[in-house]
Amino acid sequence: MPELPEVETCRRALEPVLVGQEIGHYKHSGKRLREQATSPQMAELAGLTICALERRAKYLILRAQEEVILVHLGMTGQLFVSDHSVPWLDHEHWRLELSEGWLRYRDPRRFGMLIRCSAAELGSHPRIKDLGPEPLHASWTDEDFIAACKRSQRPIKTLIMDATTVVGVGNIYAAEALFAAGIDPRRRASAIAPRRLKRLKLEIIRVLNRALDSGGSTVRNFVSSDGAPGYFAQQLAVYGREHKACRTCDRPLSLIRLGGRSTVFCRRCQR
């Protein structure tokens, strides 16, 4: 599933290609995504010039003058650019014509979203307004994070995966950051010492940055004439390694369910 680093890598790859292009026709496969702007809404964008591709949590925000489209990649979405000549791929759902080529969206499982609003409405949009701080932005402070933990009786892993605490920490990155910080994912958030919470915050930032670095090499895949981009794997310490040897102490890693999510951790190294 595309997580924050994949979405940010997609943004970095596409922004220089998209900015300055004029929008033309919109075409749609006829199949609905989880949320899908109507064809008349999308047709209103014709003639506008793209001025930015931003990101908030896992939403890509394409700005065209005073109008905005939000793209969420869901479970299997792929957003990419290609030239004029290419036929529709299987599971391709919409295309937006550009001065040079097409912006295209493919999504086999159709959990993705395409949302239209005005730039003025964006901050109060229901999908955006309650989002917490961005983990890679300086506005996410130690003090805010510690205060959020001190207020919560929930397990720490559940809390850091809640987008009102901090956005973009999916199951993979939560598990990896907790392992790196040596914190048991089941620990009640309010019971963890501030010093350890600071360390956890640092490890969340590190694991996301490491994924971003590994994604850099796949950037060219987002602008291709013959296919859609894939997502990248990185060296993981715990996620997906249940019952395998802990890389620190060599004991088998445990698998539990926590907050409805599979959770792998080391009972010895994480306390």
Q: Shortest Cβ distance from residue 151 to Zn ion (Å)?
A: 30
Q: Which residue is nearest to Zn ion (CB)?
A: 246
**Could you tell me if 13 and 222 are in contact, meaning their C-beta atoms sit under 8 angstroms apart?**
yes
Spell out the alpha helix ranges (H) of 134-240. Answer: 142-150, 156-160, 171-181, 194-215
Among residues 81 and 246, whose Cβ is nearest to Zn ion?
246
Using DSSP, state whether 41 is helix, strand or coil.
helix
Residues 6+ apart with CB under 8 A from 46: 23, 24, 25, 26
Among residues 233 and 249, whose Cβ is nearest to Zn ion?
249
Does 4 help bind Zn ion (rule: CB under 5 A)? no
Site for Zn ion in 219-248 (CB under 5 A): 246, 248
Among residues 182 and 194, whose Cβ is nearest to Zn ion?
182
Q: Shortest Cβ distance from residue 180 to Zn ion (Å)?
A: 12
Q: Please identify every residue annotated as catalytic.
A: 2-3, 58, 261
Among 156, 197, 211, 269, binds Zn ion (CB under 5 A): 269
Among 42, 70, 228, 266, binds Zn ion (CB under 5 A): 266
Does 62 help bind Zn ion (rule: CB under 5 A)? no
Report the alpha-carbon distance of residue 143 to residue 146 in Å, rounded: 5
**What are 261's strand-pairing partners?**
258
Using DSSP, state whether 249 is helix, strand or coil.
coil
Residues 6+ apart with CB under 8 A from 213: none
Does 169 help bind Zn ion (rule: CB under 5 A)? no
Interface stretch with Zn ion, choices 4-12, 20-28, 111-119, 260-268 (CB under 5 A): 260-268
* β-pairing verdict for 113-118 and 35-36: parallel
Among residues 122 and 269, whose Cβ is nearest to Zn ion?
269
Give the footprint of Zn ion on this chain (CB under 5 A). 246, 248-249, 266, 268-269
